[in-house]
Amino acid sequence: MDLGNNIKFYRTQKKMTQEELAELLGTTSKSISRWEQSLTYPDISLLPFIANIFEITVDELLGVEKIKQDEYVKDLKNKANEYQKNNDYDNELILWQEAYKKLPNNEEIKICLISIMNTINIVTNKVKYSSEIIKFAESILEKSTNNVNRIYATQCLFDLFIQMNNFEMAEYYLKQLPRNLSFTYDVAKIRYLKNEELLYAIQKNIGEFIDEIIRESEKIIRNNNTNLTDEYKKEYLERLIKIEELVFVKDNDYGYNAISIIFDYIELTKLEIRTTNNKNKVLSYFKEMIYPLEYIINFKPHNILSPFMNKVRCEFIGGYSNASIDLKKRIIKELDNNVFEKYRFTDEYKELIYQVNELK
């Protein structure tokens, strides 16, 4: 029973001092202090009065309601994971929207709503849920005492305003984030881990860091409005692919990154044709795309082989924007580009198309 912490939590939420609570209950501030430290407990007859002051139920005061909610949210997260495996963003959103109707004050549900709405905004490259994200994030910033949730809400607001090109607000929320990233939860907790747990946490963070680089690189490589030359983009993409393959790939095991590597090679091949048009390079890039395709076709859940990621288990093919929703169609569309016209009759191109058609 976490009664002491709960009394302190709800008293703090009400912005009451120990003296003020003690006066309402006809006891002393020393007694309140001892309750909150779990050194002693209030008489059972006082529980309804304490709950009434905090405007909650006795179950909530005792933490019974929180346990029920935690189990409910845990079950929802398992269902959400299934949707995520299939990139079924719409049904995941509906799942959390229905949960919010039932438990509008549950912080974890608000966090999950922000997360899926932010994902949909990024995947569709449209700002669909700006008012909703702002509403839930500001609610967390106003009421939450959980620093991890507060940082996440702030990061989402920063991302949202960047996407909306509202740089003034983006800068405002950027300044609310810890200047030293070592204070963020995912990094800070590594200091307290050892052995296998430590290695797993480091590898997971490496993976997420590289994914962020890939995500931002997509804007640089595929944005036709920039003043960057094709030569610059080609060198940039060559180096990016080297980083991906170094970190994630061993013995044709691509982990979660097979899809991103395929599309990076497609874009690199286009840039090669537009610049030097070195036939040997172009054909070699076609061959390089076949390996991650074969990996996807024969995929089974496994521990990733790469020494940088060998503590991470790969349960499903990772997404790449909305490409993995209909991967075959998207790849065929990319390879049907007129830039490949002179290469359509090569054996390498034909073999690549054959492997793409083997995708389910």
pLDDT for the residue 147: 79
In a domain, 185, yes or no: no
Q: Are residues 252 and 308 in the same domain?
A: yes
What are the contacts of 64-69 at 24+ separation with CB within 8 A? Answer: 69/103, 69/106
Q: CB count, 10 Å around CB of 348? A: 16
Mean pLDDT calculated for residue range 225-247: 88
The per-residue pLDDT for 289 is 95
Contacts of 210 (CB under 8 A, 6+ apart): 243, 244, 247, 248
DSSP at 314 = E
**Given 20, 42, 62, which residue is the final one in a domain?**
62
Place of tokens 């905090």: 54
Task: Please state, for a pLDDT cut of 70, what percent of the chain lies above it.
Answer: 90
Q: Say if CB 356 and CB 332 are below 8 A apart.
A: yes
Tell me how many degrees the CA angle 304-256-219 measures, rounded to the nearest 5.
145
pLDDT at 322 over 60: no
Residue 330's pLDDT is: 87
Among 53, 52, 35, which residue's Cα sits nearest to residue 43? 35
Residues 214 and 203 in one domain: yes
Question: Of the residues 25, 43, 62, which one is the last residue of a structural domain?
Answer: 62
How many domains does the structure of the chain reveal?
3
Q: What would the mean pLDDT of 285-307 be, rounded to a whole number? A: 93
97 and 113 Cβ atoms separated by less than 8 Å: yes
My answer on whether 323 and 243 are in the same domain is yes
99 C-beta neighbours (distance < 10 Å), count: 23
Q: What is the pLDDT of residues 166-211, one digit of tens each?
A: 888 888 888 887 655 444 545 555 555 677 878 887 888 888 888 8
- Percent of the chain at pLDDT exceeding 90: 32
For residue 52, the domain's CATH number is 1.10.260.40
Contact 297/284 with Cβ under 8 angstroms?
no
Same domain, 93 and 9: no
Give yes or no: residues 213 and 349 share one domain: yes
d(CA 178, CA 184): 7
DSSP assigned state of 253: B
Domain boundary among 177, 200, 230: 177
Q: What is the largest CA-CA distance in the chain?
A: 90
**Residue 38's domain spans which residues?**
3-62
Helices (H), 308-346: 327-335
Sign, CA dihedral 182-188-193-195, equals: negative
- Residue 274 pLDDT > 60, yes or no? yes
- d(CA 230, CA 209) in angstroms, rounded, equals 26
pLDDT at 85: 76
Asked whether residue 227 carries a pLDDT value surpassing 80, the answer given is: no
Kindly report, residue by residue over 136-173, the tens digit of the pLDDT: 999 899 888 777 788 889 888 988 888 888 888 888 88
Calculated CA dihedral for residues 352, 354, 359, 360, nearest 10 degrees = 170
- What is the value of pTM for the model shown? 0.56
Helix (H, G, I), strand (E, B) or coil at 303: strand
pLDDT digits (tens, 9 = 90+) for 22-59: 888 888 988 888 888 888 888 888 888 888 888 877 77
Q: What is the mean pLDDT of the chain?
A: 84
Encoded tokens for 48 = 């309804």
| Residue 204 CB neighbours (<10 A) | 15
- Report the pLDDT averaged over residues 262-283: 94
Residues 197, 288: one domain?
Answer: yes
Between strands 302-303 and 313-314, the pairing is antiparallel
pLDDT of residue 193: 66
pLDDT band of residue 281 (cuts 50, 70, 90) is: very high
Give me the mean pLDDT over the 213-230 stretch.
Answer: 75
- CB under 8 Å to 53, separation ≥6 — which residues? 14, 21, 24, 25
The model's confidence at residue 67, banded by pLDDT at 50, 70 and 90, is low
